[in-house]
Amino acid sequence: MTETHLDPHRAWILIRDGGTFTTVETNHLEHCRSCHDWIVTFVNQARKVGFSIKFEIPDFECGDQAVAA
């Protein structure tokens, strides 16, 4: 994969403003274990402190465990 990892600031903006992932972000999260794992943790923590999450985190496709550089 040639994409860069999901930016934590972008994740915060999505949570704060009720946005959704772009197609590129969704594709990256489906194939990057590192980004998928931390966004799940980040979203779970946000929920615990009262944020309403408006987006769905795509499933990680286990068959491809590649991590973008």
Calculate mean pLDDT across residues 43-63. 91
Contact 59, 66 (CB under 8 A): no
* Per-residue pLDDT band at 62 (split at 50, 70, 90): confident
Choice between 20 and 69, residue whose per-residue pLDDT is larger: 20
In a 10 Å sphere around its CB, with 0-12 CB exposed, 13-18 middle and 19+ buried, how is residue 55 labelled? middle
Where along the chain do its domains lie?
8-48
Q: Which residues, at least 6 apart from 28, have a Cβ–Cβ distance to it below 8 Å?
A: 1, 3, 5, 6, 35, 68
55, two tokens: 């987006």
The model's confidence at residue 4, banded by pLDDT at 50, 70 and 90, is confident
Mean pLDDT of the chain: 87
Measured CA distances, 69 to 5, 6, 9, 35 (Å): 7, 11, 18, 11
Q: What is this structure's pTM? A: 0.79
Q: Using the predicted structure, report yes or no on whether residue 24 has a pLDDT greater than 90.
A: yes
